[in-house]
Structure 1
Amino acid sequence: MKALESRGEFASSSKRVVGQRASARPAKLALALTLAATLTACTVGPDYVKPPIPTVATYKELEGSGWKPAQPADTVTRGAWWTLYADPSLDSLEQQVATANQNVQAADARFRAARATVAQYRSSFFPIVSANGAYSRARSSSNVLHKSSAGLTLNDYLVQADASWEPDLWGRVSRSVEGAKAQAQASAADAQAMLLSMQAELATDYFELRGLDQERQLLDDTIKAYGEALDLTQHRYAGGIATDADVAQAQTQLKTTQAQALDLGVQRAQLEHAIAILIGQAPSTFSLPVAPLTAVPVVAAAGVPSTLLERRPDIASAERQVANMNAQIGVATAAFFPSLVLSVTGGLEATNYSQWLLAPSRLWSLGPALAGTLLDFGGRESVREQARAHYDESVAQYRQTVLAAFGEVEDNLAALRVLEQEASAQDDAVSAAQRSLAVVSDRYKNGAITYLDVVVAQTTALTNERNAVSIARRRMAASVALVKALGGGWQVSDLPTDEQIVHPAAPQSASDATAHG
């Protein structure tokens, strides 16, 4: 009786131990997951700090020259800076660049790809779950000893699910996501820089074309005047007052000017074709009516050099590339530490279909795997040194981009300052040449001088008038270049935030992202 009681107590005790062990398994698993989650907070590698950039208090062209722009613009219209020039035709063309220019579309596609890369890296924070099902029918050899299925033909029904998760113990995934976000922001800035570049190129080509139209109008007026001068000379020759040399000189002057007017057609056609391509149209289907240049150059407010860092998309892109390269150092550093993979498998397997979905057919496995490289003879250290070198390169490129931006602003401020003075002097030269031509023409009519003197005065007047138009075109080009150099009204706050990159409200382009940033 006591033996039976002792056996009963032993059985009861054994059940309690098994129960305790069974109940301890979830606790141990929970402890392991908690420990893994705690370790996930450990992120190796340097935290990002924006590299310092040397700046000055003001631009040299605004400080030392004492120049006061004749047409200052205190603000640049954000997103539609070209409206400063008050040209409806230009406004209509510029609005097509964002949606039809193929370079802009390609840059937007690169931004979307970069944003998708962020989602790809973020998926590594979560478990990977896979499932499979299989059926097979096989017969084992009868001549295999010590095998229970020897000589039997068996079915195998299997359905199984697997889940594995690698906790981000050392921040490899978080650094990868950090770098991918920075790269996506850099791509968004690149797309905005491309848009600004295409818009500025369109405006420059447009004003150049209008300048050619104005020059063509000048030549057409001159041709008309030269034709009248030729008629006068022929009448004087018929009356015995002028010589045949005078007639030949008048004819030469007229034909030379006609050739110059025709030559402008080549440049105008090329500019018209370039504008068509910029707005995504075939050159054969696009044309612009002839109209003279009426816009005046606008001098956008440059502000202080330090604000340029927040206004240029190419500078923002270069800075975000530095952040990306900094994150890659952390990714390379994480390779020095072991990785932990937690995996679980569960399913059902049976040889008879009727028993396949019953509880005894279940199978499962659960367990962690810890792996790390003990010796690679400097391989990982070389990768980390590469990452550091790439970071240093990106810092140098960032600083070079800033210096180049400062240089572009100074260049175009200087160009606008000098060209404004040159335009004033050229206007005086045109007025003087026109007065001289009027005097010489009167003296020729009175027979005081030969027609050669008239030809010289005509050539001088026409040359100065064409120079004035050329200076006007150059001033417009410099004005557009200054707006571009100052970022076209863009701000670094227009970049998409981390939240907008990870959870976009809807599929959007980089221009949409910056517009709603």
Structure 2
Amino acid sequence: MRSIVFSSISIFATMALLTGCTSLGELKPSRSVVATGWHATLPHGGRSTDLLAWWASFKDPSLDGLLSLAERENPSVQEAVANIHKARATLDTARAGLFPSLDGSATATREGNKGDDVNRITAGTSKGGALDAAWELDLFGKTKKEAQASALRAEGQIWSWHDARLSVAAEVGDYYVQYRACRQLERLYRDELASQRETIRVTEKSAQSGFTSTADLALARASAATSSSSLTAQRGDCEIIVKSLVQLTGGDELVVRKLLEQGKSRIPQPSALRITSVPADVLRQRPDINALEAEVAASIADVGAAKADLYPSLSLSGSISISQSTVTGRSVPWSFGPALSIPLLDGGTRRAAVRSAVADYDIAVASYKSGVLTAVADVETALIRVNTALQRINDAKTAADNYQNYFSSVDQNWKSGGVSILDREEARRSAQSAAITLIEIRRDAIQYWIALYKALGGGWSASDDASIASVNGIH
């Protein structure tokens, strides 16, 4: 008995020597310095409506329909939902390790031998059943840490789902704005082409009467051909945008085209956006930053699980079986007892696993810091672009109006013979260029608003998400 006790003490002493003296680096704290305020100018001085229900402020049924379609059918959103289900299944698997396991089995056979008299065995029936139970006691919290890491990653996947919804919505809104601007440019080229064809008709009559040179007629035809080419290219660009919207909304082109036909022809414009929060508030709202933060916390739990694996594990196991045979009779064997597993020599595998987990933590911290810096830069950049575009719109409108007035005056003089067709074409091209610039700046301004909306985290509310989550099977 004394030798057995001495042997047990020796084993535990050896275990303590090998595991207790393991030197592991401490985790570095995750710090990320965030400014206390924005440096860029706030649009409208920071006065306007809230982010919540921002898409509704466009008051555009077509846009609402496209956003709802993308929410249901976009593959990226569906993939994010599937990732949540997978992460929750992993969590259930990890939590199952905290509880005992029980397996059962049953058999029934009939056997005999119809050989010679010496070997003949009367046919008999054998029946048996068994129960096997096992439970690994979580002495040092390894399983608990693994479950904690899985829970945090499941939470991170939910944040990733929010991020996917936000990104898809912003992309749909951006393409929708491009589409409306594209159709405006198409109408501009179409109206210009109709006007130039009328010019050709008038010039042809004048040339036949000898009042206009053939050079003027050639210039009019060349200008009309250029406008026709621009119109064809513009129509192609609009069709490409439609294809992009079809891809984002799940692939039903007929539904997308029907929604586009029902919408307003103007470029949609939202209500103004209030930006009074400091960067730290935005970081709390952005789903991608929350997902990165969840991964940092999960990596800390991974380190704890890897360290716990350095220590012994104790499990309880037992089994009981019942067998009955018409030949041999009945038996009920059983067993029960603890089993202690002590890591002694593994070539450094466990300690390498700890170092790997610490490295994963450092990577997660670096990704989190990078995400914070990117988030702040996204907002600052979007603020500058929105402010610049809004300031340019008034000047662009003034230029477009005055160039159009100038062209109208030159056109009247040309009809009365006061100026050449070359002067008229130069005035027309200037007016057309100014009109195109105005449309493009208005388009860009709304695109920058959408980029700012995305950079600020989307403005979704927890109550709204709860209803959407239940529809998608996310609870």
Superposition TM-score, scaled by structure 2 size = 0.85
Task: Give the superposition deviation at 1:342.
Answer: 0.7
CA separation of 1:456 and 1:495: change in aligned 2, threshold 3 A: closer
User: In 2, distance between residues paired with 1:353 and 1:341?
Assistant: 37
User: In 2, distance between residues paired with 1:369 and 1:508?
Assistant: 47
Task: Give the superposition deviation at 1:492.
Answer: 8.0
Is 2:106 the partner of 1:106? no
Counterpart of 1:90 in structure 2 is 63
Question: Which SS does the other structure have where 2:419 is aligned?
Answer: coil
Counterpart of 2:35 in structure 1 is 56
User: In 2, distance between residues paired with 1:94 and 1:353?
Assistant: 74
CA separation of 1:185 and 1:483: change in aligned 2, threshold 3 A: same
Q: Is the Cα contact below 8 Å between 1:69 and 1:299 reproduced in 2? A: no
Aligned pair partner of 1:481 in 435, 445, 451: 451
Q: Is the Cα contact below 8 Å between 1:316 and 1:492 reproduced in 2? A: no
- Unmatched 5+ stretches in structure 1: 1-44, 140-150, 497-505
Task: Give the superposition deviation at 1:418.
Answer: 0.8
Task: Give the superposition deviation at 1:135.
Answer: 4.8
Which deviates further from its counterpart, 250-259 or 238-247?
A: 238-247
User: In 2, distance between residues paired with 1:50 and 1:308?
Assistant: 22
Counterpart of 1:75 in structure 2 is 50
**Residues 367-386 of structure 1 deviation map (CA, whole Å, 9 limit, x = unaligned):** 11111111223221111011
Counterpart of 2:360 in structure 1 is 390
User: In 2, distance between residues paired with 1:291 and 1:74?
Assistant: 23
For residues 91-490 of structure 1, what are the structure 2 equivalents within 5 Å?
A: 91-135=64-108, 157-283=127-253, 286-287=256-257, 288-289=260-261, 292-302=265-275, 303-352=277-326, 356=330, 361-490=331-460
**Residues 237-274 of structure 1 deviation map (CA, whole Å, 9 limit, x = unaligned):** 33433211111111221221122112111111111122
**Residues 434-457 of structure 1 deviation map (CA, whole Å, 9 limit, x = unaligned):** 122122223323333221111111
Q: Is the Cα contact below 8 Å between 1:125 and 1:167 reproduced in 2? A: yes
Task: Give the superposition deviation at 1:119.
Answer: 0.7
Question: Which SS does the other structure have where 1:166 is aligned?
Answer: strand
User: In 2, distance between residues paired with 1:47 and 1:185?
Assistant: 26
Question: Which SS does the other structure have where 2:131 is aligned?
Answer: strand
Task: Give the superposition deviation at 1:507.
Answer: 7.8
- Unmatched 5+ stretches in structure 2: 1-23, 113-119
User: In 1, distance between residues paired with 2:172 and 2:125?
Assistant: 73
User: In 2, distance between residues paired with 1:73 and 1:46?
Assistant: 50
Larger Rg over CA atoms: 1
CA separation of 1:233 and 1:441: change in aligned 2, threshold 3 A: same
CA separation of 1:388 and 1:428: change in aligned 2, threshold 3 A: same
Task: Give the superposition deviation at 1:47.
Answer: 12
User: In 1, distance between residues paired with 2:29 and 2:62?
Assistant: 43
Q: Is the Cα contact below 8 Å between 1:214 and 1:291 reproduced in 2? A: no
Letter of the 1:276 partner, please give it: V
Amino-acid identity (%): 27
Question: Which SS does the other structure have where 1:478 is aligned?
Answer: helix
CA separation of 1:275 and 1:50: change in aligned 2, threshold 3 A: farther
Q: Is the Cα contact below 8 Å between 2:318 and 2:337 reproduced in 1? A: yes
Task: Give the superposition deviation at 1:433.
Answer: 1.1
User: In 1, distance between residues paired with 2:101 and 2:415?
Assistant: 97
Task: Give the superposition deviation at 1:155.
Answer: 7.0
Letter of the 1:109 partner, please give it: A
User: In 2, distance between residues paired with 1:494 and 1:450?
Assistant: 64
Question: Which SS does the other structure have where 2:266 is aligned?
Answer: coil
User: In 1, distance between residues paired with 2:334 and 2:267?
Assistant: 81
Q: Is the Cα contact below 8 Å between 2:66 and 2:256 reproduced in 1? A: no
Letter of the 1:469 partner, please give it: I
Task: Give the superposition deviation at 1:193.
Answer: 0.8
Q: Is the Cα contact below 8 Å between 1:237 and 1:243 reproduced in 2? A: yes
Q: Is the Cα contact below 8 Å between 1:311 and 1:486 reproduced in 2? A: yes
Task: Give the superposition deviation at 1:91.
Answer: 0.8
Q: Is the Cα contact below 8 Å between 2:186 and 2:234 reproduced in 1? A: yes
CA separation of 1:110 and 1:46: change in aligned 2, threshold 3 A: farther
Letter of the 2:62 partner, please give it: S
**Residues 18-40 of structure 1 deviation map (CA, whole Å, 9 limit, x = unaligned):** xxxxxxxxxxxxxxxxxxxxxxx
Q: What number of residue pairs does the alignment pair up?
A: 440
User: In 2, distance between residues paired with 1:111 and 1:316?
Assistant: 15
**Residues 94-124 of structure 1 deviation map (CA, whole Å, 9 limit, x = unaligned):** 1112211122111101111101111111111
CA separation of 1:157 and 1:441: change in aligned 2, threshold 3 A: closer
User: In 1, distance between residues paired with 2:409 and 2:85?
Assistant: 68
User: In 2, distance between residues paired with 1:278 and 1:473?
Assistant: 20
CA separation of 1:400 and 1:464: change in aligned 2, threshold 3 A: same
Question: Which SS does the other structure have where 1:60 is aligned?
Answer: coil
Cα RMSD (Å): 3.0
User: In 2, distance between residues paired with 1:491 and 1:50?
Assistant: 31
User: In 2, distance between residues paired with 1:48 and 1:225?
Assistant: 73
Counterpart of 1:144 in structure 2 is none
